[in-house]
A and B are shown apart, each in its own frame.
Chain A
Amino acid sequence: MLARVWNERPSLDVFEMPLTGVADYLDDLFPIQIDTSQIRAAGERPFLVTATIRAMPFHHVLGQVLYRTGRRCRLEGETLVILPPE
């Protein structure tokens, strides 16, 4: 399923939205699983995302959002797991 949405082109226009909120938005937008439990469990202060990204493939949107927040991701089965920084 992830392979199918990998090149979909969502629009993301958020202002100071927590990363978990952005992940939930993408999770709702596409039939994929995004696991944010590890960054929630870390108990960090929510890192806010401000971005306007249009007509860009999903993996680029994901890359930009993670880069701006200093987070990373890993694929476990069909689930994208968002991880805190190394």
Chain B
Amino acid sequence: MIDALPATRPRVWRLQFSLRVFLLAFTAFAVGFPVWYRWPYEEVAQESPPGSPNLLRRITTWQRQWGGNRLKHGWERMEENGKTVASLMYRNGLRHGPYKDAWVSGQFENDLKEGVWTAPDRTSTWHRGKLHGPYELRLPPKDLLTNEPRKFQLVFSAGRLTHFNGQPAASRLFDRMEDASMDQRIRNELDKLTSIDAVEMPLKDCALYLSEVHGIPIALDPSLQFQAPGPDMPITEEFQGIDLCSVLTVMTAPRGLGCDYRYGSLWITTAEDTNNWRDPTGVLESNHLAAACSPACGTKGPALMFSKCR
């Protein structure tokens, strides 16, 4: 007698795959996840205040970093009512690539300006973040009779102004900037871009203006008081987007003046005095004072160069 077979129950489904499929899936994940994780993505931030008729948006491209941080990587754009008004390329958090806004266009390399930058009023040439090459300024006319725009041709070399309208524009200040004696804060400010729009402004007021804008002392040599027109010498200049050191050079050199660094201040004096100056007070050159200074500086011996102490 044959017993009846028990009724077959439905088999419980279990996920089953071969080792080959598992290997392929794992490989796909290992390749795909990092690509997805690091793939740049865009983030939109609204910059205009609520209720503003203009919709201003900043669209930034980010890249996730291993460890949880993120860096800008790709285009960053400003859009006004859907129209791009400024764009800048980033690479690994640094500005790297074209920059363009309504006025200015140029190129960055590793966060430093590089190549030709153009704006309606100037064309400048940069190398590794420093002005290097021709720089043309085109300013609106001041003479209403001729109505001709004013052009200034400057030439820079590694951030140093070398020529102004075809004439050599040497400045002792550029040399002093490489001197360890100069206060670091003043050196930093000399490198910063500045702007001045002076019409018949006395020299002393120009110095005071730049001093206040940059927060550094700028002094006029007392001897200028005894030379006409001295501190009241009228200055008519307009500069934008040039470093402070070059602006001071252009303001002083064509007028027989010079700029130096003395006693912790930028010092405007005559060109002749700039070239031949020796400290008459004994403060800067006294070996005795240098020796007195040395313990405070953590250095030894009276033969120490005084400049290292300041």
CB pair B295 A3 closer than 8 Å: yes
Per a CB cutoff under 8 Å, which of B265, B288, B294 touches A60? B265
- B37 is an interface residue with CB less than 8 A from chain A: no
Q: Which of B219, B222, B283 has the most CB of A within 10 A?
A: B283
CB pair B281 A67 closer than 8 Å: yes
Per a CB cutoff under 8 Å, which of A59, A78, A85 touches B310? A59
- A40 is an interface residue with CB less than 8 A from chain B: no
The smallest beta-carbon distance between B213 and chain A, in angstroms, is 17
The smallest beta-carbon distance between A62 and chain B, in angstroms, is 6
Chain A residues with a Cβ closer than 8 Å to the other chain, count: 26
In the complex formed, the residue of A with least CB distance to B280 is A72
Main secondary structure of the interface of B (DSSP, over half): mixed
CB pair A75 B263 closer than 8 Å: no
Chain B residues with a Cβ closer than 8 Å to the other chain, count: 24
The smallest beta-carbon distance between B295 and chain A, in angstroms, is 5
Cα distance A85–B292 in the bound complex, in angstroms: 23
CB pair A68 B292 closer than 8 Å: no
CB pair A60 B264 closer than 8 Å: yes
With A7-B296, A60-B263: A74-B288 Cβ-Cβ less than 8 Å: yes
Q: Which chain A residues border B282 with CB–CB below 8 Å?
A: 66, 72-74, 83
With A63-B262, A74-B288: A3-B283 Cβ-Cβ less than 8 Å: no
Cα distance A53–B284 in the bound complex, in angstroms: 18
CB pair A6 B309 closer than 8 Å: yes
**Residues 244-273 of chain B, each 1 if its beta carbon lies under 8 Å from chain A, else 0:** 000000000000000000111100000000
Q: Which chain B residues border A85 with CB–CB below 8 Å?
A: 280
CB pair B280 A67 closer than 8 Å: yes
In the complex formed, the residue of A with least CB distance to B281 is A66
Across chains A and B, which 4 residue pairs bring their CB atoms closest together, nearest first? A60-B264, A63-B263, A66-B281, A75-B288
| Given A64-B264, A67-B281, A75-B291, 6 further pairs, Cβ under 8 A | A6-B309, A56-B263, A59-B293, A62-B281, A62-B283, A78-B292
